[in-house]
Structure 1
Amino acid sequence: MEAVELYSSPWRKSFEDFLKGVSSDLLIASPFIKTSEANWICAALNGRSVRLRVLTNVRSESVLNGSLDVAALNLFSKAVPDSKVIAVPRLHAKVYVRDNDLAVITSANLTPSGLEGNYEYGVGLRDVKLVGRVRNDIEAYGRVGSAMSAELLKEMSSISDELVDEFQKVQRSAKARLRQSFNQKLRKANVEFLRAQIGSRSAHSLFADAITYVLSTGPLSTSELHPRIQKLLPDLCDDKAELVIDGQRFGKRWKHDVRNAQQFLKRQGVASFDGKQWRLVGQVLSSN
């Protein structure tokens, strides 16, 4: 069996074989997921004791353009007992990891178009060390996000249905009242989808997790770290929000929150600072 396999479209048959080989663990990262494909996967896993983890990016735009069905996420939660659906920010990677023996990195989302309609291409890795590294990378990114409970997924599904219904009404009518109603639903959905990503964590905890993830790639100065945190969590890093105490402005609020999280990680012995760069404790020092 080849250590590296290539997959071109259509790859549903190859993915079907991939699913048949799942023994105990399936990890999926896909920003777009449709209910039809979630049904297909759940049917393929039926009767097997499998640990399922699904990473996706719950965004209003994806719901409105039909790329993401929140009902599909709800289905995973209900159909697979040992499952977690994790909302993460800015996900673009499409990765499927089976146990410790095969990782597929592809352009294909978990949609009919991804599996059959579009021209997609992917690479399968069978080297145990590489598979483990891919799994560790995806699971590490998952810790930046938050697992959604069954109750929250049910609530998110209801919110997305309402949002799509209002959007369809607006498309069929030019009435200002309908546009206003849709905008209200959209604002509510944006807040709720962001809440799903944050989970029960405080902003302090969320920034600490984000810093740990970013520093896992190597040491960084504070000036290098902050832009990466902002790119990772743009909704929480608003440059318009300033910290004001007793009428005095102290700069961007989110940067103060990040600095506080940096100091917290330092006190906890998770990160260290040598006067120039921050690094995770135990990281090899840079040569420069």
Structure 2
Amino acid sequence: MRFLLFIGRRIALALPTVLILSTLIFLLQRMLPGDPALALAGGEAVDARMLDEIRHKYVLDLPVYVQYGRWLAGALHGYLGVSMRNDIGVSELLAGKLGITLQLALASMAIALAIGIPLGIVAATRKGRLGDAVASGLALTGISIPHFWLGILLVLAFSVHLNWFPASGYVPFREDPVRSVMGFVLPSIVLGTGIAGVLMRHMRSAMLDALQADYVRTARAKGLSEWRVVLRHALRNALMPVVTLGAIEFGQLLAGAVLTEQVFSIPGFGKLLVDSVLNRDYQVVQGLVLVSSVMFIAASLLADVLYFVINPRLRT
């Protein structure tokens, strides 16, 4: 019951956040210079009657508050409008991109966890020694290197010279599983290494605090091996801040890795967002931001659930 109340409060706080965010993105788009109907018509020398028809078709001729009310009412029923650029339902368009972004996010997060957590443990248990210096140096490198620059280097090394992985593009998994997986390796490394550096630094800090706790000294006094003390006693408590950070980073990945998707020509949320903003496709941008916000909040709720799994004190 305590767990359900906790999650219920989190959801109750999330709903106003989504509403405020949707309102802001709706209004800010309307403040951009230019006429979306004129851009959709394709030029300056356009018949005024044609522009009126376009505005009427996409309800751009109505007051802003009426447009927002209609869009919000449709969103509550799962209808996010129709793309002004290609005349496809926004929900259908986002559904086709969600799987691509989800694959990239999961692969990147797996790489980040596989690198960041072990390096953080090594750095904490070897504080002030060579292992700590090496792990901290790798973490700083992963955080400092820009994603687009690292992506270009990886393409030059592993695609152009070694020809191990494809340089860009996306192949659906159902068409060719091997090529699909190979196409995600380089962009996942680009995103994963940056997150791994952040996770490593937080893991190191949390582990250092945990290793100085009373329960760790008690475990050592009982004669337990050092690695058993670290992995069974200190690690579980040190994971708490890392879970929060990991959920935030995963939510950002789901929202779309704009630069990485542009470099590797991956048709996910990030690339769709850039194209929609450039084309002034209001409906797609609004739907994309709304769905990304909901996914980000869902990732935060997942972190709350993991809290209860990792730390039994929260259940009492």
TM range (shorter): under 0.3
Which structure dedicates a bigger proportion of its chain to strand?
A: 1
Alignment TM-score, normalising by the size of structure 1: 0.27
Larger radius of gyration: 2
More helix by share: 2
Between the two structures, name the one with larger relative contact order (CA 8 Å, sep ≥ 6). Answer: 2
TM-score w.r.t. length of structure 2: 0.25
